[in-house]
A and B are shown apart, each in its own frame.
Chain A
Amino acid sequence: MSPKTLYDKIWDAHVAHEADDGTCLLYIDRHLVHEVTSPQAFEGLRMAGRQVRAPEKTIAVPDHNVPTTPGRDDPKNMTEDSAIQVAALDKNAKDFGIHYYPVSDVRQGIVHIVGPEQGWTLPGMTVVCGDSHTATHGAFGALAHGIGTSEVEHVLATQTLIQKKSKNMKVEITGKLRPGVTAKDITLSVIGETGTAGGTGYVIEYMGEAIRDLSMEGRMTVCNMAIEGGARAGIIAPDEKTYEYCVGRPHAPKGAAWEAAVAWWKTLYSDDDAHWDKVVTIKGEDIAPVVTWGTSPEDVLPITATVPAADDFEGGKVGAAQRSLDYMDLKPGTPLSDIEIDTVFIGSCTNGRIEDLRAAAAILKGKKIAVERAMVVPGSGLVRAQAEEEGLADIFKEAGFEWRLAGCSMCLAMNPDQLAPGERCAATSNRNFEGRQGRGGRTHLMSPQMAAAAAITGKLTDVREIMCNAF
Chain B
Amino acid sequence: MQKFTKLSGIAAPLPLVNIDTDMIIPKQFLKTIKRSGLGVNLFDEMRYDDDGKEIPDFVLNKPQYRETQILVAGDNFGCGSSREHAPWAIADFGITCVIAPSYADIFYNNCFKNGILPIALPQEQVDVLMKDAEKGSNARIEVDLEAQTITSSDGDVFTFEVDAFKKHCLLNGLDDIGLTMEKAASIDSFEAQASTARPWV
* Interface residues of A, Cβ cutoff 8 Å to B: 13-17, 19, 21, 23, 25, 27, 29, 36-37, 39-40, 43, 48, 50, 53, 57, 64-65, 81-82, 84-85, 88, 122, 124-125, 130-132, 134, 145-151, 153-154, 157-160, 162, 164, 196-197, 200-201, 227, 230-232, 252-253, 257-258, 260-261, 264, 296, 315-317, 319-320, 323, 412-414, 421, 431, 433-436, 439
B81 touches A131 (CB 8 A): yes
Question: CA–CA, A431 to B123, complex, Å?
Answer: 26
Name the B residues within 8 Å of A134 (CB-CB).
82
Q: In chain B, what residue has the closest Cβ to A131?
A: B82
Question: CA–CA, A64 to B23, complex, Å?
Answer: 18
B105 touches A232 (CB 8 A): yes
Name the A residues within 8 Å of B87 (CB-CB).
148
Beyond the given A85-B33, A158-B180, A164-B163, please list 10 additional residue pairs across the A-B interface where CB-CB is below 8 A. A25-B180, A27-B190, A148-B109, A157-B177, A158-B177, A160-B180, A200-B104, A260-B200, A414-B28, A435-B26
A439 touches B176 (CB 8 A): no
Q: In chain B, what residue has the closest Cβ to A323?
A: B16
Q: In chain A, what residue has the closest Cβ to B189?
A: A16
B100-145 with Cβ < 8 A to chain A: 102-106, 109-110, 113-114, 123
Q: Knowing A132-B106, A200-B76 touch, does A439 contact B50 (C-beta < 8 A)?
A: yes
B27 touches A148 (CB 8 A): no
Name the A residues within 8 Å of B7 (CB-CB).
none
Name the B residues within 8 Å of A151 (CB-CB).
109-110, 113
Name the B residues within 8 Å of A64 (CB-CB).
30
Question: Does B191 belong to the interface (CB within 8 Å)?
Answer: yes
Q: Knowing A125-B201, A197-B102, A439-B45 touch, does A25 contact B83 (C-beta < 8 A)?
A: no
Name the A residues within 8 Å of B26 (CB-CB).
435, 439
Partner of B33, one of A39, A50, A317: A39
Question: Does B155 belong to the interface (CB within 8 Å)?
Answer: no
Name the A residues within 8 Å of B16 (CB-CB).
316, 319-320, 323
B82 touches A132 (CB 8 A): yes
B84 touches A414 (CB 8 A): no
B106 touches A148 (CB 8 A): yes
Q: In chain A, what residue has the closest Cβ to B86?
A: A148
Most B CB contacts (10 A, CB to CB) among A36, A53, A258 go to A36
A25 touches B106 (CB 8 A): no
Name the A residues within 8 Å of B181 (CB-CB).
157-158
Most B CB contacts (10 A, CB to CB) among A23, A50, A412, A433 go to A433
A196 touches B187 (CB 8 A): no
B199 touches A296 (CB 8 A): no
A150 touches B113 (CB 8 A): yes
Q: In chain B, what residue has the closest Cβ to A435?
A: B45
Q: Knowing A151-B113, A157-B177 touch, does A230 contact B76 (C-beta < 8 A)?
A: yes
Name the A residues within 8 Å of B163 (CB-CB).
21, 23, 164
Question: CA–CA, A57 to B180, complex, Å?
Answer: 19
B31 touches A414 (CB 8 A): yes
Pick 5 A–B contacts, CB within 8 A, sort by A.
A48-B177, A150-B110, A158-B187, A159-B191, A231-B105
Name the A residues within 8 Å of B33 (CB-CB).
39-40, 43, 84-85, 88
Q: Knowing A82-B31, A154-B177, A230-B76 touch, does A37 contact B84 (C-beta < 8 A)?
A: yes
Question: CA–CA, A106 to B194, complex, Å?
Answer: 33
Question: CA–CA, A21 to B167, complex, Å?
Answer: 13
Name the B residues within 8 Å of A85 (CB-CB).
31, 33
B180 touches A261 (CB 8 A): no
Question: Does B22 belong to the interface (CB within 8 Å)?
Answer: yes
Q: Knowing A40-B34, A154-B176 touch, does A436 contact B22 (C-beta < 8 A)?
A: yes
Partner of A230, one of B34, B79, B113, B180: B79
A433 touches B23 (CB 8 A): yes
B187 touches A40 (CB 8 A): no
A148 touches B187 (CB 8 A): no
Question: CA–CA, A150 to B114, complex, Å?
Answer: 9
Name the A residues within 8 Å of B106 (CB-CB).
132, 145-148, 227, 232
Question: CA–CA, A253 to B20, complex, Å?
Answer: 40
Partner of B82, one of A17, A43, A124, A148: A148
B36-86 with Cβ < 8 A to chain A: 45, 50, 74-76, 79-84
Q: In chain B, what residue has the closest Cβ to A254?
A: B200
Question: CA–CA, A200 to B117, complex, Å?
Answer: 18
Nearest chain B CB to A355 CB, angstrom units: 25
Most A CB contacts (10 A, CB to CB) among B18, B34, B165, B190 go to B18
Q: In chain A, what residue has the closest Cβ to B103?
A: A200
Q: In chain A, what residue has the closest Cβ to B79?
A: A196
Name the B residues within 8 Å of A160 (CB-CB).
180, 187
Nearest chain A CB to B168 CB, angstrom units: 10
Question: CA–CA, A433 to B17, complex, Å?
Answer: 12
Name the B residues within 8 Å of A81 (CB-CB).
31-32
Q: In chain A, what residue has the closest Cβ to B109?
A: A148
The 9 A-B pairs with the shortest beta carbon distances in the complex, nearest first, are: A253-B200, A150-B113, A81-B31, A16-B190, A39-B33, A148-B110, A148-B84, A146-B82, A316-B17
Question: CA–CA, A29 to B28, complex, Å?
Answer: 32
B173-195 with Cβ < 8 A to chain A: 176-177, 180-181, 183-184, 186-187, 190-191, 194
Name the A residues within 8 Å of B32 (CB-CB).
81
Nearest chain A CB to B186 CB, angstrom units: 4
Q: In chain A, what residue has the closest Cβ to B198?
A: A264
Question: CA–CA, A131 to B106, complex, Å?
Answer: 10
